[in-house]
Amino acid sequence: MYKILFATSEAYPLIKTGGLGDVAGILPAELAHLGLEVTIILPAYPACKTHLKYLTEIASLQIPSVSGLIRILKGRLPEGSNSIWLVDSPIHFDRPGNPYLGENGQDWPDNAARFAVFCQAITQLVNHPELNWQPDIIHCNDWQTGLVPPLLAPLSNRPATLFTIHNLAYQGLFSRQQFETLDLPPYLWSSSALEFYDQFSFIKGGLVFADWLTTVSPTYAQGILTPEFGCGLEGVLRKRADHLTGILNGADYQRWDPVHDSFIKKPYSKATWHHKALNKLALQHQYGLLEDKTIPILGFVGRLVEQKGIDLIIDILPKLFSNKIQVVFLGEGHKSYQNTLQKIARDYPRQMGLSISYNEQLAHSIQAGADIFLMPSRFEPCGLTQLYALRYGTIPIVHRTGGLSDTIVEATEENIQQELATGFFFEEPSPSALFTAIQKALTVYAQPDQWRELALTAMGQNFSWRTSAKAYYNLYHQMLSNRPTQ
Ligand code: ADP
Ligand code: GLC
């Protein structure tokens, strides 16, 4: 039975800011169901300590740039299939709120030190005298874990390393001075290692040194080899192209299925699809909108950042509101988008619902109550919210990119008739292309039989984590079978 250490900076339900939290909240459990021993390792944020009430100290470490000992705490969620280890360095992680941002919405100024300590601690756990445990593979996720592969690389008898790119646009870039304060091996300051145009890049550590790379959809795996989606790292990635695999994420249907979703007003299934309308009325009520189940609702749930194409929606909102429609938003992010949305919401109080917050319950209520899910992302490594929307019979309108291309089937008349269609695409990330796609969707919405067909086909899609977990399992097996003896 392979032993995996799954390193992540967030995992639902302990702490979550986006899709990585969802993935880390389910993939390790699915891998455990396939017979692997998977331990999750996270920074000991206050939220993690509160969730995991019974924690025991299993090891302590000394990291040269940090005064005092760092403790490794072990816990488990009730019913959880995985052990959870927390890297407890209070000066780095014992602070309120978001794992990456301070209360002012800016990155914590010491993020380089915080996540370097996280990576150094993980590296020290390999062959640690207090632990009678050595993983076969360390599975790293995103830049916050990017220093693990380079720090392990020189060791003999080390675990294999896999680095998963959830979003190449977040790279963990810092200054050379910061590199120098962290007690990292000086040879890592090189253009063939962590140096990236004179900056210190965490993600490059993963991309250059991990034994294998994955990203979260096949189309994004191709895309990141090109200048359009490679964020300047396409050259580095092209050199690793024969060690890069796209494995599509899944949806956690235990948490995201209207049949048994305790966050929503009225559960429903394909057989009781008409109950979706009760969730619409509840959503209209919650947002103070006109309560009328014949009005189509367009929903948006996501980070208010350029990636998600929120500006494309903002651009066409006044024009959209000349239709008899409502639009509801849930998100937080850049101040300028927040302010503009607030201003428009004041002008259209009966048609636009806005919540600038992070609210798990509301995210579910929008999936259940909306008719259409807007996801005009400029790029999307995988995207989970469109997968959830499908299961709730909420038809996605998406830009044809990355994981959105891999998960949605275009609602042409023929595809609708053949019960294949699940959503609407637009090709160019422009306001007018989005507007045209929305008009197309509203035309189909006006034909209730066709819309119902579309919604039921969407609800029948199955993006189960079991399939994705098997792909990771096979990759782990391949990595370990092909290892040169050390
Ligand atoms: P990304 O990881 O790029 O943000 P994904 O679609 O992969 O996008 O995952 C986003 C996850 O975060 C989903 O579970 C979504 O419901 C959740 N989410 C995003 N914004 C909010 C919010 N403001 N409140 C609650 N949940 C949110
Ligand atoms: C990232 C991506 C998103 C993906 C998620 C989980 O945040 O932006 O597309 O679904 O990671 O892999």
Is the peptide bond prior to 13 cis by the omega test (within 30 degrees of 0)? yes
**pLDDT, tens digit, 9 for 90 and up, residues 274-307:** 999 999 999 999 999 999 999 999 999 999 999 9
Atom 11, ligand 2: residue with shortest CA distance: 166
Atom 1, ligand 2: residue with shortest CA distance: 166
Residue from 394, 388, 426 nearest 410 by CA: 426
Other beta carbons within 10 angstroms of residue 232's beta carbon come to 12
List the structure tokens of 318: 């006044």
Q: Give 403 Cα–ligand 2 centroid separation in angstroms.
A: 9
Residue 486 has pLDDT above 60, yes or no: no
Rounded mean pLDDT of the chain? 96
What is the DSSP secondary structure assignment for residue 159, as one 8-state letter? P
249 lines ligand 2 (CB under 6 A): yes
Angle between helices 431-445 and 448-459 (to 10 degrees): 110
**Which residues, other chains included, contact 285 with Cβ-Cβ below 8 Å and sequence gap of 6+?**
291
**pLDDT, tens digit, 9 for 90 and up, residues 334-366:** 999 999 999 999 999 999 999 999 999 999 999
**Is 42:11 a contact under the CB 8 Å cutoff?**
yes
Cα–Cα distances in Å, from 283 out to 280, 288, 320?
A: 5, 8, 20
pLDDT of 105 reads 84
**pLDDT, tens digit, 9 for 90 and up, residues 24-37:** 999 999 999 999 99
pLDDT of 132 reads 84
pLDDT classification of 97: cutoffs 50, 70, 90: confident
Average pLDDT over residues 440-455: 96
Residue 263 has pLDDT above 90, yes or no: yes
List the structure tokens of 470: 């098997």
Give the nearest ligand 2 atom to 307 CA: 8
* 28 burial level (CB within 10 Å; 0-12, 13-18, 19+): buried
Amino acid letter at 338? Q
Residue carrying structure tokens 């057989």: 271
pLDDT classification of 78: cutoffs 50, 70, 90: confident
pLDDT of 371 reads 98
Pairing of strands 195-196, 173-174: unpaired
In terms of residues, how long is the chain? 486
**pLDDT, tens digit, 9 for 90 and up, residues 304-318:** 999 999 999 999 999
**Is 308:376 a contact under the CB 8 Å cutoff?**
yes
Residue carrying structure tokens 């006109």: 290
Q: Give 419 Cα–ligand 2 centroid separation in angstroms.
A: 28
- Counting ligand 2 atoms within 8 A of each CB, the residue from 249, 382, 472 with the most, and so the one to mutate, is 382
Can you list the domains of the chain with their CATH numbers? 3-250+466-481 (3.40.50.2000), 273-462 (3.40.50.2000)
Pairing of strands 69-75, 56-62: antiparallel
**Is 437:425 a contact under the CB 8 Å cutoff?**
yes
List the structure tokens of 266: 């009225």
pLDDT of 196 reads 98
Cα–Cα distances in Å, from 215 out to 16, 227, 296, 376, 445?
A: 19, 17, 35, 20, 35
pLDDT of 79 reads 84
Q: Give 303 Cα–ligand 1 centroid separation in angstroms.
A: 7
What is the DSSP secondary structure assignment for residue 154, as one 8-state letter? T
User: Which ligand places an atom closest to the C-alpha of 328?
Assistant: 1
Furthest CA-CA distance within the chain: 68
User: Which ligand places an atom closest to the C-alpha of 16?
Assistant: 1
CA angle 338–340–343, rounded 5-degree value:
110
Amino acid letter at 273? W
Atom 22, ligand 1: residue with shortest CA distance: 358
User: Which ligand places an atom closest to the C-alpha of 304?
Assistant: 1
What is the DSSP secondary structure assignment for residue 186, as one 8-state letter? G
What is the DSSP secondary structure assignment for residue 299, as one 8-state letter? E
Separation of alpha carbons 44 and 356, rounded Å: 27
Its pTM stands at: 0.97
Average pLDDT over residues 248-263: 97
**Is 69:61 a contact under the CB 8 Å cutoff?**
yes
Helix, strand, coil content of the chain in percent (nearest 5): 40, 20, 40
Alpha helices in 256-396 (DSSP H): 276-286, 310-320, 335-347, 360-369, 385-391
Torsion of CA 24, 46, 333, 21, to 10 degrees: 10
pLDDT of 44 reads 98
Give the nearest ligand 2 atom to 381 CA: 9
Least confident of 4-8, 130-134, 217-221, 400-404: 130-134
361 lines ligand 1 (CB under 6 A): no
356 lines ligand 1 (CB under 6 A): no
User: Which ligand places an atom closest to the C-alpha of 252?
Assistant: 1
Separation of alpha carbons 313 and 253, rounded Å: 29
Stronger pLDDT, 483 or 457, i.e. the higher one: 457
pLDDT classification of 485: cutoffs 50, 70, 90: low
354 lines ligand 2 (CB under 6 A): no
22 lines ligand 1 (CB under 6 A): yes
Beta bridge partners of 71: 60, 88
- Counting ligand 1 atoms within 8 A of each CB, the residue from 377, 384, 406, 468 with the most, and so the one to mutate, is 384
Q: Give 55 Cα–ligand 1 centroid separation in angstroms.
A: 29
b/e sequence 324-355, b meaning 16+ C-beta within 10 Å: ebbbbbbbbbeeebbebbeebbeebeebbbbb
User: Which ligand places an atom closest to the C-alpha of 220?
Assistant: 2
Q: Give 164 Cα–ligand 1 centroid separation in angstroms.
A: 18
Q: Is 16 annotated to bind ligand?
A: yes
Residue from 456, 253, 255, 268 nearest 368 by CA: 268
The phi and psi torsions of 200 (rounded to 5 degrees) equal -100, 115
381 lines ligand 2 (CB under 6 A): yes
